[in-house]
Amino acid sequence: MDITYQIMIPVLLWIQKYTQSYGLSIIVLTLVVRIVVWPLVASSTKNMKRMQLLQPIVKGMQAKYKDDPEMLQRKMMEFYAKNEVNPVLGCLPMLVQLPLLFALFGTFSGPPFGDKAIDVKVNVVESRDAGQVKRSETSNNNSPYVSRDGRQAKVIVFPGESVVTEGQKIDFATRAVEGTLPDDFKVKWIVRHDGKFAHTDEAIIDDDGHATFLKKGEYHVEAVVDGVAKSDSFGPITSLGKKPSGMELLKPENFDQLALIVLFGISMYFSSKISMASSGTKPEDMDENQRVMQDSMKWMPLGMTVMFIGMPLPTGVLVYMSVSNAMQTLQTVLLMNAPVPPLLSVDDDDAPAPAESKTNGNSNGQPKTIDIGPAPKNGKADEGAKIKFNQADPVGEVGEKRKPTKKKKKK
């Protein structure tokens, strides 16, 4: 099932009828997707928080049953089941969301927001290998197309993958396998060799798709489908389809895309910061895998930001990524601050033992003395008794009575 063509683009076009703006439609569709996946994210976050609370007890079990792996496995399974925790649940929401995320990425990186090339491989062989000549009926891949009036089609190239001899010609063309194409529909034809535009002494192709291959080698013919909304503006965004990267982002006309990349990095940083701060897990309670993961989360926002600066992504994709990440940050705040149901009790022999006090006295190790004498009268301290606690006498002993000292009268 083609989620991009059959679900995402039709929903996007339906939203665009009401918003009259492709840029606003991207934001609305992104918010709708975040709301749809909310139950999965909420379930995963609650599971993660309970897993963090269980870590001290789990570490105690691992230490106690380190010589009995089978017993450790059974005890941990029982413990997780009693507290309704599933260690695998943390990855499940992301696995479920991946097809949806890829579909969204494909929706915002191709028509109508940007151009998309339909690739056809052509192998050119010598004349003596003419027996290898063959042609597939159509291309293996395709591209969606959206017209200005909202019509939708799926475009392919014919013929498809081919083997030809030197000097042979092929007439390429396009057609819709789903939907209808407007009468004035055209694609831009390109032929590449070794990843670069082919030289005229290697292969040539005209605007109508008539190609001639002059030298042996592997070529790629591309039919570039136009994105009709790639030049549309939206608020401060001047073009939804432009793809500046690197130093090009420092040009004034590309400041809008640079701002989107920075916004993405900031929202990702705060989302990871909130997750780590709300976990309540101390570094000493973390195992090696948790510490490595936490260190990775610290640097991931910066790494992703640098990657997006060097990667030529359409502005429409960056709008989606920034809005989605900002929404995820808000979801993280709400979920991490939500109360966690109390943990169910475990067997007494598996519960972590309370830390033993080194002394029953003050923090400096001195015996603690509690005065239980009567309140002072007339501003003077009366005789009284004291109970002194120490390690040798946990019950306490009564101290000797203090004899009041009399002050000598001045003569």
The answer as to whether 148 is a domain residue is: yes
- The verdict on 219 and 119 lying in the same domain is yes
The answer as to whether 364 is a domain residue is: no
- The verdict on 144 and 201 lying in the same domain is yes
Residue corresponding to tokens 């022999």: 349
Q: What is the pLDDT of residue 347?
A: 55
Question: How far is it, in rounded angstroms, from Cα 172 to Cα 136?
Answer: 12
Task: Tell me if 220 sits within 8 A of 251, measured CB to CB.
Answer: no
Of the pLDDT bands very low, low, confident and very high (cuts 50, 70, 90), residue 231 is confident
Residue range 284-297: average pLDDT? 64
pTM of model > 0.85: no
- The verdict on 268 and 132 lying in the same domain is no
Q: What is the pLDDT of residue 220?
A: 96
- The verdict on 143 and 90 lying in the same domain is no
Residue range 374-381: average pLDDT? 48
Higher pLDDT, 154 or 370: 154
- Domain extent at residue 273: 3-108+233-336
Higher pLDDT, 122 or 272: 122
Task: Tell me if 75 sits within 8 A of 350, measured CB to CB.
Answer: yes
Q: Among residues 321, 318, 326, 324, which one has the least CA distance to residue 255?
A: 318
Domain end position, chosen among 320, 336, 352: 336
- The verdict on 164 and 30 lying in the same domain is no
Q: Is the pLDDT confidence value at 49 over 80? A: no
Domain end position, chosen among 177, 208, 225: 225
Residue range 125-132: average pLDDT? 87
- The 3-state DSSP composition of the chain as helix, strand, coil percent (nearest 5) reads 45, 20, 40
Question: How far is it, in rounded angstroms, from Cα 364 to Cα 134?
Answer: 90
Residue range 268-289: average pLDDT? 65
- The verdict on 180 and 273 lying in the same domain is no
- The verdict on 217 and 278 lying in the same domain is no
The answer as to whether 391 is a domain residue is: no
Q: What is the pLDDT of residues 337-359, one digit of tens each?
A: 766 666 655 554 554 434 333 33
Mean residue pLDDT of the chain comes to: 78
Residue range 171-191: average pLDDT? 93
- The verdict on 153 and 195 lying in the same domain is yes
- The verdict on 131 and 202 lying in the same domain is yes
Q: What is the pLDDT of residue 372?
A: 38
Domain end position, chosen among 314, 336, 358: 336
Cβ-count burial of 203 within 10 angstroms (0-12 exposed, 13-18 middle, 19+ buried)?
A: buried
- The verdict on 153 and 254 lying in the same domain is no
Q: What is the pLDDT of residue 154?
A: 94
Q: Structural domain tally of the chain?
A: 2
Of the pLDDT bands very low, low, confident and very high (cuts 50, 70, 90), residue 387 is very low
Of the pLDDT bands very low, low, confident and very high (cuts 50, 70, 90), residue 294 is low
**CB neighbours (10 Å) of residue 309?**
19
